[in-house]
Amino acid sequence: MEAEQIDAGAIRVGTPKRSAVGMPAIASSMEHALEEMGVRRSLKVLTRVNHDGGFDCPSCAWPDPDPEHRRLAEFCENGAKAVAWEATRKRVDAGFFARHSVAELRSRDDHWLEANGRLTDPVYLAPGATHFEPIAWDDALRLVADRLRGLPDPDRAVFYTSGRASNEAAFVYQLLARRLGTNNLPDCSNMCHESSGAALSATIGIGKGTVTLADLEDHADLIFVVGQNPGTNHPRMLTALEKAKRRGARIVAVNPLPEAAFTRFRNPQVARGLIGAGTVLTDAIVPVRVNGDLALFAALNRALLEREDRQPGTVLDGAFIATHCDGFEAAAAAWRQLDWPALERLSGIPRAAVEELADTVAGAERIVVCWAMGLTQHRNAVATIQEVVNFLLLRGNIGRPGAGPAPVRGHSNVQGDRTMGIWEKAPDAFLDGLRDEFGFEPPRHHGYDTVRAIEAMRAGRVDVFVALGGNFAAAAPDTAVTEAALATCALTVNIATKLNRTHLCHGREALVLPCLGRTERDVRPGGEQLVTVEDSMSMVHASRGRLAPVSAGLRSEVAIVTGIAAARFGEDLGWGSMGDDYRVIRKHIERVVPGFHAFEERLDQPGGFVLPRPPRDARTFPTATGKARFTVNPPTAVEVPDGHLLLQTLRAHDQFNTTVYGLDDRYRGIKGGRRIVLVDPADLARLGFADGDLVDLVSVFDDGERRVRAFRAVAYPTAPGCAAAYFPEANVLVPLGSTAEVSNTPTSKSVVIRLERP
């Protein structure tokens, strides 16, 4: 309690910034880089980010420009922070673990844990022990293999993946799980874009977006940025939006918060951005209520339909709908039934504003809708995204230049990991491919996703938990429940670059296995290795680490995973040769995963190659009916009882998910602490509080209440009835049982709370 109050007391709140990036961003990234890496290492590493022959930025999944259009510094402030954080010279070695007991480490926060530096050697926590101790690699791998061998049922093992794993690591990891006999492959996607995948698969037949960077930069004339804060989370997207803007495209942000990037972007890559006023990026910000997007897009669709009814043949793309779509009549009938006052109440947007937006839409030839977590982490997220697809289909905005859906991914290879089969419900075609390639019968019953994995642990049905990266305990919902769930396991194994909370929420025994990061040289018996990744726009390319590894004790993720597999299964599937030379893995991928023909050869093409996306390539929709599908999505929104607010949990500017680089959120004007809650001034007054008050946040769900203490209330412009607090501090409030329909994604952006005096 005391520590919490000190934090809240140290917070300083200034005015939110009215522009993004510019000089302060460069200063901030260099400061981090020099502090963590020193001058020589900084220069060496930062000039190799996102360049041919260099490595893929480990931060977000925004695509890279064509090689000839890349600049010397093809990264952003937050990418530089991510690189510096990984390439730091600080070390967490055996001495560190001898000095700090697990109990003491648990009392520290994630910021402190990671700030100690890179893990250097494998460590083991014996049953009942107080400290992690060094263990030889072979012993560690054998221990995991022994525990896996001892399982009465392969489904008592769970293999979690975070989205930084390379394609090669992901492929051998899912192969290990399936060889063992389980599809328990939860991943960060389950908490992230799962809703996008579900909605897009059902409607256009592929679980990915269909646009390219050029569609945004060169062709679209209207771009929606919905539920996304690119200034912080995808800063290089601002460069693309700026290009679009300067050639006359319109940009509409849909967001309950007036994020800084929307008002003005000062491009650090060109002189006018450093010293000039920058570019005003958005033509409009639609201040939708949190969770109001389904109603908003339904209203927009209805308004378009009404325009078509008034002037038939002028607003909708009748030919596209007739040739390529089904379900239009049912959807149209449902839109005609909608009631404007209800739509206004659910979305928080007045009809007049929707009509104006509909006029803009009707005047646009080519529309792209970009979105991220503001749409995916709600109970009705899948329906909402399906309604966005309806919106695009109405005017044929898919499968032609400058148009289409663009779910903007988070982790740098989260999309690739899914392509590689990190999926608890991988389709039969993929499993057939594994069977034919490797000659074993993979399990067919679905495995646990993230939420189900936690539920299974709670119920005592999981013995071995393995994590390939990530910070499961802090990233998952319902922190207290998730931490307790992890502790029920017999063995927890974390393959990681840095120490974090999950490693300390251990089972009866535990291993932390330190791995190479993406910036580091990876030399195996078969020579120096490269790995591959896939970005948000389905481009696959190579990534080669350039720095000397921080410790000789590190192994690559591929080496660790194939090492465990070889210790468990011998050489049945050729694990050793896969681990020695990743070209062997790529040959397997080539034969198992569609779109990877001539994989190795095509990596030499500048910028890599693009995976097939039938809706884009040929307006072919591999759905059940072979057509793009209109869907009926009755507008709903979370009902918030009187005296309560709808809380979204989001990212500050100084973090990458659970990795907290610093305590400032520069663009929102908040400094020195993260235990804050943003509430509109009018709501704050109505509820009897004032800016600067310390408040407890109490979340209300059908299974009871959850509480975080002593957050500082910040009066901040947001949609009425809404609030915002930072992930992961607020994860305590997200009930495990509150998930999206169909995708089962935790509703991290729809938490009903009330404020209380501590």
Contacts with ligand MGD by CB under 6 A lie at: 59-60, 78, 114, 162-164, 188, 191-192, 226-229, 232-234, 254-257, 259, 288, 290-291, 293, 372-374, 410-411, 468-472, 475, 495-498, 500, 515, 517-518, 557, 648-651, 655-659, 727, 730-731, 734, 748-749
From the CB of 652, what's the least distance to ligand MGD, in Å? 8
Q: Is 688 helix (H, G, I), strand (E, B) or coil?
A: coil
Nearer to Mo ion by C-beta: 183 or 376? Answer: 376
Which of the choices ligand MGD, Mo ion, none does residue 748 contact, using the CB cut-off of 5 to 8 A by kind?
ligand MGD
Q: How far apart are CA 348 and CA 713, in angstroms?
A: 23
Q: Which residue's CB is nearer to Mo ion, number 535 or number 680?
A: 535
- Measured at CB, which residue is nearest to Mo ion? 410
Kindly give, in sequence order, each residue whose CB lies less than 8 Å from that of residue 120, ignoring residues fewer than 6 positions away. 91, 92, 93, 94, 514, 550, 551, 553, 554
Interaction partner, residue 482 (Mo ion, ligand MGD, none; CB < 5-8 Å by kind) = none
CB neighbour class for 399 (10 Å; exposed up to 12, middle 13-18, buried from 19): buried
What phi and psi values does residue 202 have, to the nearest 5 degrees? -70, -30
Residue 182 or 232: which CB sits closer to ligand MGD?
Answer: 232
Q: Which is nearer to ligand MGD, 391 or 609 (CB)?
A: 391
CB-count burial class (<10 Å; 0-12, 13-18, 19+) for 657:
buried
Question: Pick from ligand MGD, Mo ion, none: which does 386 bind, CB < 5 to 8 A by kind?
Answer: none
Stretch that binds Mo ion, among 206-214, 409-417, 436-444, 678-686 (CB under 5 A): 409-417
Nearer to ligand MGD, 321 or 453 (CB): 453
CA–CA dist 138, 537 (Å, integer):
39
CB of 636 to ligand MGD, least distance (A): 13
Task: Please report whether residue 268 would count as binding Mo ion according to CB under 5 A.
Answer: no
Structure tokens that stand for 400 in this block: 């032609």
Please give the biggest Cα pair distance in the chain.
76
Given ligand MGD, Mo ion, none, residue 655, with its beta carbon under 5 to 8 Å by kind, binds ligand MGD
Q: Which residue lies nearer to ligand MGD by CB, 59 or 212?
A: 59
d(CA 321, CA 361): 17
**Rounded distance between C-alpha atoms, residue 334 and residue 199, angstroms:** 19
Rounded Cα–Cα distance for residues 239 and 367 (Å): 18
Closer to ligand MGD at the Cβ: 19 or 229?
Answer: 229
Q: CA-CA distance, 313 to 316, in Å (whole number)?
A: 7
Any alpha helices (H) in 446-500, and if so which ranges?
450-458, 472-475, 479-486
Rounded Cα gap, residues 181 and 241, in angstroms: 46
Q: Nearer to ligand MGD by C-beta: 143 or 169?
A: 169
Q: Nearest residue to ligand MGD, using CB? A: 410
What's the closest the beta carbon of residue 673 comes to Mo ion, in angstroms?
A: 24
In terms of C-beta density within 10 A (0-12 exposed, 13-18 middle, 19 or more buried), how is residue 68 classed? exposed
Q: Which does 291 bind (CB under 5 to 8 A by kind): Mo ion, ligand MGD, none?
A: ligand MGD
Does the footprint of Mo ion cover residue 230 (CB under 5 A)?
Answer: no
For position 192 contacting Mo ion by CB under 5 A, the verdict is yes
Nearer to ligand MGD, 173 or 335 (CB): 173
372 binds, options Mo ion, ligand MGD, none, Cβ within 5 to 8 A by partner type? ligand MGD
Phi, psi of 54 (to 5 degrees): -105, -155
Task: Verify binding: residue 416, Mo ion, rule CB under 5 A.
Answer: no
Closest to ligand MGD by CB, 193 or 266: 193
Which partner in ligand MGD, Mo ion, none is near 466 (CB below 5 to 8 A by kind)? none
What one-character-per-residue DSSP string does 598-649 give? THHHHTTSTT-EE---HHHHHS---STTSSEE------------TT-EEEEE
Q: What is the DSSP letter of 63?
A: P
Find where tokens 């030839």 sit. 365
Residue 288 contact partner, candidates ligand MGD, Mo ion, none, CB within 5 to 8 A by sort of partner = ligand MGD
Q: Least distance from C-beta 112 to ligand MGD, angstroms?
A: 12
- Residue 410 touches Mo ion, criterion: CB under 5 A: yes
Q: Which residues bind Mo ion (CB under 5 A)?
A: 192, 410
